[in-house]
Structure 1
Amino acid sequence: MMKYLSLCILLGSTGVFAATDTFSASEKAHSLAQQHVIVDGHIDVPYRLQEEWVDVTVATEGGDFDYPRAKQGGLNAPFMSIYVPASLDNSKESTVLANRLIDYVEAIVGRAPDKFALATSVADVERNVEKGLISLPMGMENGSPVQGSLDTLKHFYDRGIRYITLAHSMSNHISDSSYDLRRQWKGLSPFGKDMVKEMNKLGIMVDISHVSDAAFYQVIDITKAPVIASHSSLRKFTPGFERNMDDDMIKALAKNNGVVMINFGSTFVDAGARAWRSKMSEKKKAVEKQFGKDSEQYKSFDEAYIAKSPFPFADLNIVLDHIDHVVKLVGIEHVGIGSDYDGVGDSLPIGLKDVSTYPNLVQGLLDRGYSDSDIKKILGDNLLRVWRDVENVANAS
C-alpha cells in the first residue's frame, strides 16, 4: 500500500492518467487462468473499504477488485491486506484499525458465502477451490498493531492473519523500514527478533517487503521457515530504490526456499516511472517552499504538472521482465505475483489494470516460452509451497 493514493485519484480524474489497455489474451491463456490456482500476495481491499464502503461482492465502478472481475481473471486466493498506516505506529488506534479491517473481510464473506470464504491454511484454499469459492486469506501490512506483545501476535493469528509485513514506511518497534533514513535498530529490534521466532512457532509467514536490507538479512539468519516478499519488485530495474530487492537478496531468499511476489505498480517496476514521480515531488516541494501549502500555486500544482508531463506508464512487458530475471537468477520456484491492486491507485501498468487481467499475464508468459507447469508455479503453487512449509515448521515446534 503506497501513500500516493490521493495523487493517483487526481491523476485519474484529470484524464491524463488514463491509458488504453492494448493487451489481449488467447483462449488458452484464459483457460490456464481458470484452471490453475491464482494466489495474489497483496490486495488492499480492506483499506479501500475503510476509506469508502462499497460492496465488492458485486460489480463496482471503482477500484481494482470485485467478485465479477476476480472470477473473470481466474483469481482464487487474494491475500487481503490488513494495512495500518505508519502514522498510527505506537498508538492503540493501530490495533483497533487492524481489527476493524479484519471485520471488513469477515463482512465480505458474510454478505456472500456463496462467493467468498475465509482461508487460514493451504487446505482451506484447496477446499474452497473445489467448492468454487474465492478464498480470502489475510496478511497484515505493518506489524505496528502487535504492540510489542506476543499475546497480541497470537490474537491476530487467531483472527486469521497468516503473514505480517514487519514494518511499513517508517521504522517501528519491530523493524527498520526501507523508506526510513533513521535506522534506529540497524535491522530488527530485540522484540522483532523474538517476534520472527514466534511467527515461526505459530505458522505466520514473515513478509520482508518494506523492511531495510539489514532487517532482511537478520530475518534470513533467524527464521526456521521460508519467508516471502508479498509485494516487492526488483532493484535491478529501479536502481537505488531500496524498497525493491537486489540480486543478492533474491539469492538469499531462494536459499531460504522463499518467494518474491512481483508488485505491478509502475513506479515499482520501471525506472522511468520512478524518476517521473521523484521529479514531480521535488518540484512540488519547491512550490511549497516558495508559496506555501495554502497557495493557489501549490493546490493546483499536481493537475498542472501532469497536464504538461503525463505519467509514463509501465506495461505488462516490464512486469514479465521482473519475473524473467528472478527465474534466470534463482529458478522458477521463487517468484509469484503480489499485484498491490487497490494499493497503488491508477499507476498500474498497461495490460494489468485490475484483477480481471491475470490472463494477460498468462499470455505474456506463454509468449516468452514458459510451460504450463511453470505458469502454474508462478500463479500460485510457489506461494502455497511456502505457506505449507511454514505450517509444517509450526506443527513441528
Structure 2
Amino acid sequence: MTDWLRLANEIHADSLLIDGHADTPQRFVDEGFQWTSPDLKGGQLSAAAAREGGLDGEFFALWAEPSQWAGRFVERTFQLLQGMEDQIAAHSEALTLCRTASEVRRAKDQGKFAALLGIEGGHSIANSLDLLREFFNRGVRYMTLTWSNHNDWCDSSGEHVPRHNGLTAFGKEVVQEMNRLGMLVDVSHVSDAAFWQVLETSRVPVIASHSSSRALTNSYRNLTDDMLRAVAAKGGVVMVNFNAAFVDETHRLQWNALHDERAAAETRLCELWRERGKPMPYREEIELAHTFLDRAPRPPLQSLIDHFDHILRVCGTEHVGIGSDFDGIPAAPVDIDSAADLPRITAGLLERGWQPEALRGMLGENLLRVLDQAQA
C-alpha cells in the first residue's frame, strides 16, 4: 500500500511551497506573538509549523478590520506593516522580506522563510493612489480589492445590495495603477459584477488569493466555474481557501443558522473592549467562534480535497494554488490544524491520482509565475 503522506512530504521537500494568504500580522501586533515561537499559542502559522509542513513562503495579509478600525484604516494598515517589518528584523536569520519570485527562490536556497506582503481590503488605501504607491514601495505585492465590505470604489461579495454595480471609474484607475506598478490584483472578496469588470480592466493575469469553488459550496465568497475558467484564461491563479464554511455545504448551512446568536455574542464582546477604550483584537472573535463548533462541527478533510480536485480539473494544473487563510478563519477541516498539516492535502490529491509533477505548480510555482508576469 502506498504511503501517500510520506510521498507528499518528499514532494514538499523538493518543491517551492508558497501559501497565498494568512492573517498572522495581527498576531504579531496584537498578541506579541513571535515568528520563531516554539508554541503556536492557538494559531495556525509559525516558523516551526511551516518547517514541518514544508512551507517555504507566505503572503502575509495586512487587514484593517473595518468595524473595529473605522476611520483609522490607514493607521491600522501601517501598524500591521510595521509589525511585519519588526518581525523580519528580529528574526532575520529565519525570515526575509521578498518582493520578487527570484528573491523567494534565493530565500529558500539560504534556508530562510520568504515573507511576502499583501493588503486585504482596498479601504486601506483611503482612495489614494499615492498611498497605494507607498505601500508598494514598502514591499506590498498584492491587494485584495475589497474585504467583506464595500469600499468607495469596489463592491464586495459580502454585502448583497450593490453600491457601485461593480467597479467605479476610480476603481478601474486603481487596477490600472496596480498593473503599472507590478502589484498583483486580487479578486477574492469582490462582487460578481466587480470580478468581471476587473478581468476586463486588468492588462495582466489576476489572482484569487483565497477563494474556493461555488459549484461545491454555495457561498458568494467562492468562484463559479465560469469565473474559475476566466481567471485561468487570463493566465491567473485561484488559491483554495481552507475556511470550513467555504469548503463544505453542510457546515456552511449549520454555521449560517447560528448567525444571529453569533452576532449577538460578538456585539457583547465588542462592547467589553469598547469599555476598555480599545478595538477588539480579531483573536477574540476567532476564540468566540470556536465555542460554536460543537453545533457546526468541522467538516472532513475530504471536503477540502474536493475543492482542490475540482478547481484543478476546471482551471488546469497551471492555474491553481494554496490560499489557506491561516490565522483568519474560525475553523479549517478536520486534520488541518496548522501549516504543519499541509502535506495531508498533497497526500489526498496523490491518492486521487494526481501526479507529483502536476502538483508542483499548485504548491507555489504557479503563483511565482504570475508574480513574474505582473512585474514584467
Is TM (by shorter chain) over 0.5? yes
**What count of residue pairs does the alignment treat as equivalent?**
354
Match of 2:342 in 1: 358
Contact 1:89–1:144 under 8 Å retained in 2: no
Match of 2:307 in 1: 322
Report deviation, 1:54: 1.3
Contact 1:140–1:164 under 8 Å retained in 2: yes
Q: Does 1:391 align with 2:367?
A: no
Contact 1:230–1:338 under 8 Å retained in 2: yes
Match of 1:36 in 2: 15
- What whole-Å deviation, never above 9, does each CA across 1:208-250 have from its counterpart, x for those lacking one? 00010000000000000100000011111122x2111011111
Compute the TM-score of the two structures, normalised by the length of structure 1: 0.84
Match of 2:153 in 1: 174
Q: Distance in 2 between matches of 1:217 and 1:114?
A: 43
Q: Distance in 1 between matches of 2:185 and 2:53?
A: 28
Contact 1:57–1:111 under 8 Å retained in 2: no
Listed as ranges, the gaps of 5+ residues in structure 1 are 1-23, 295-301, 393-397
Q: Does 1:281 align with 2:251?
A: no
Change (3 A) 1:287 1:266: closer
Matches for 1:111-122 after TM superposition, within 5 Å = 111-122=90-101
Change (3 A) 1:96 1:286: closer
Compute the TM-score of the two structures, normalised by the length of structure 2: 0.89
- Is the radius of gyration larger for structure 1 or structure 2? 1
The code of the aligned residue for 2:298 comes to: F
Match of 2:366 in 1: 382
Q: Distance in 1 between matches of 2:52 and 2:259?
A: 37
- What whole-Å deviation, never above 9, does each CA across 1:262-308 have from its counterpart, x for those lacking one? 001111101111101111124567999xxxx99xxxxxxx89x948x
Contact 1:89–1:172 under 8 Å retained in 2: no
Matches for 1:14-53 after TM superposition, within 5 Å = 26-53=5-32
Contact 2:153–2:168 under 8 Å retained in 1: yes
The code of the aligned residue for 1:356 comes to: A
The code of the aligned residue for 2:227 comes to: M
Structure 1 SS opposite 2:75: helix
Partner residue of 1:270 out of 218, 227, 248? 248
Q: Distance in 1 between matches of 2:20 and 2:165?
A: 27
Q: Distance in 1 between matches of 2:317 and 2:243?
A: 22
Listed as ranges, the gaps of 5+ residues in structure 2 are 273-287
Q: Distance in 1 between matches of 2:27 and 2:163?
A: 31
Structure 1 SS opposite 2:106: helix
Q: Does 1:74 align with 2:74?
A: no
Q: Does 1:261 align with 2:239?
A: yes
Report deviation, 1:186: 0.4
Contact 2:45–2:339 under 8 Å retained in 1: yes
Q: Distance in 2 between matches of 1:153 and 1:214?
A: 23
Q: Distance in 1 between matches of 2:163 and 2:9?
A: 48
Matches for 1:178-217 after TM superposition, within 5 Å = 178-217=157-196
Change (3 A) 1:275 1:149: same
- What whole-Å deviation, never above 9, does each CA across 1:103-136 have from its counterpart, x for those lacking one? 1111111111111100011111011011111000
Q: Distance in 1 between matches of 2:80 and 2:261?
A: 36
Report deviation, 1:148: 1.3
Match of 1:87 in 2: 67
Match of 2:324 in 1: 339
Match of 1:247 in 2: 225
Contact 1:167–1:174 under 8 Å retained in 2: no
Q: Distance in 2 between matches of 1:180 and 1:235?
A: 17
Report deviation, 1:149: 1.4
- What whole-Å deviation, never above 9, does each CA across 1:153-194 have from its counterpart, x for those lacking one? 100000111000011111102310101123111001221110
The code of the aligned residue for 2:53 comes to: G
The code of the aligned residue for 1:357 comes to: D
Q: In angstroms, what is the RMSD of aligned CA positions? A: 2.2
Match of 2:279 in 1: none
Contact 1:171–1:177 under 8 Å retained in 2: yes
The code of the aligned residue for 1:151 comes to: D
Contact 1:166–1:174 under 8 Å retained in 2: no
Structure 2 SS opposite 1:173: coil
Matches for 1:125-144 after TM superposition, within 5 Å = 125-144=104-123
Contact 2:155–2:163 under 8 Å retained in 1: yes
Contact 2:4–2:350 under 8 Å retained in 1: no
Matches for 1:139-150 after TM superposition, within 5 Å = 139-150=118-129
